[in-house]
Amino acid sequence: MKALLPSPLTIHWGHFDASLAPIEQIDDGETLFVRSVSDVYAPDDPVPSEWIPPEIRSIQSEVRERGPGPHILSGPVFIGGARPGDILQVDILSLRLGAPYGCNLLLPLLGMFPDRIDYAEKQVIPFDLETGHAIVQPGVRIAIRPFFGIMGVAPPVGWGRISSAQPRQHGGNLDNKELVAGTTLFLPVWVDGGLFSVGDGHAAQGDGEVDITAIEACLEGELRLSIRRDFELSLPLVVTPTHLITMGFADDLDQAARIAVSILLELLERYCRLPWRQGYRLASIAADLRVTQVVNGMKGIHVAVSRDVLAQLGGVPPFLSPKAA
């Protein structure tokens, strides 16, 4: 198993770019151990010194090339054999916290109410690792449900350097809290090798992420990266043990919802042979629209439909079946 560990030489800060040189290479189907640290940590956080991720001091002091987004991303990783038009299958095998605390930020001019925040404020949130809870404030404990807010491949070459803040066709800042261990993410590949990067660890987040941060956290986990060529995809797709989830991103939530539902209807028509009108009716009855996030420039909607419902339509769409040997 290869390891992707954060250091000044193995991270890129705040951007995706097809011209980035890979810092690791793995084979199709290989499992990658990943550790990520968040930009919200600081060497002088008011916690016991042994709590602070040891990598953060060197990364913050030595990495000068930053932005335009805020995220520290581990990678990119070159997947042998991946080429444009392929699909990268990311099986999230395990996730766990890499530090005993996380942070939430309130920042001026950002979030759902940018005019209500007139100074920056960071709240340190300790974790009770024995019970699996975050102590958000005295008397309020939230169950930890870790996931990477950012998983993505390099964007198309013509896009140049883009911010890590917005989710797009390459994935990126998806902020979908369903991407927990046991879930699979599918990403369209745009360049040779895919160039996969990961970061923005969250210990817990509400749909919407309204103040612009979740419980930002250091995460560790195992991800299996595989190449698929048995179906086509234009936007990230998520499969959980119980649901199929399509995603849409746009400048407003209405358009994001139309994109996410349209993708679901296209998949039902193509792989389940369900006529569009019937799929539209089924989506209205059985699919749930949820707000992924509203504060990262591009708004996000994800649509979840039960795999039990899909099974009744007959056939097994390729994205619901394991990769063929």
Residue 321's pLDDT is 84
From the list 56, 49, 19, 93, the residue with the least C-alpha distance to 241 is 93
- Encode pLDDT of 155-176 as tens digits: 999 999 999 999 999 999 999 9
- Encode pLDDT of 59-70 as tens digits: 999 999 999 999
Pair of tokens at residue 34: 């990943």
- Mean pLDDT (whole number) for 301-309: 97
Q: Are the C-beta atoms of residues 148 and 97 closer than 8 Å to each other?
A: no
- Encode pLDDT of 15-45 as tens digits: 999 999 999 999 999 999 999 999 999 999 9
The sign of the torsion formed by the CA atoms of 264, 163, 42, 110 equals negative
Residues paired with 148 in a beta bridge: 201
Reply yes or no on whether the pLDDT at 266 is more than 80: yes
- Mean pLDDT (whole number) for 135-142: 94
Residue 315's pLDDT is 75
- Encode pLDDT of 72-91 as tens digits: 999 999 999 999 999 999 99
Q: Are the C-beta atoms of residues 214 and 203 closer than 8 Å to each other?
A: yes
- Mean pLDDT (whole number) for 203-211: 97
Report angle CA 15, 10, 83 to the nearest 5 degrees: 65
- pLDDT class of 324 with cuts at 50, 70, 90: low
Reply yes or no on whether the pLDDT at 323 is more than 80: no
Q: Show the domains of the chain with their CATH numbers.
A: 2-99+145-228 (2.60.120.580), 242-315 (3.10.28.20)
Residue written as tokens 């060529």? Answer: 229
Residue 284's pLDDT is 98
Residue 20's pLDDT is 97
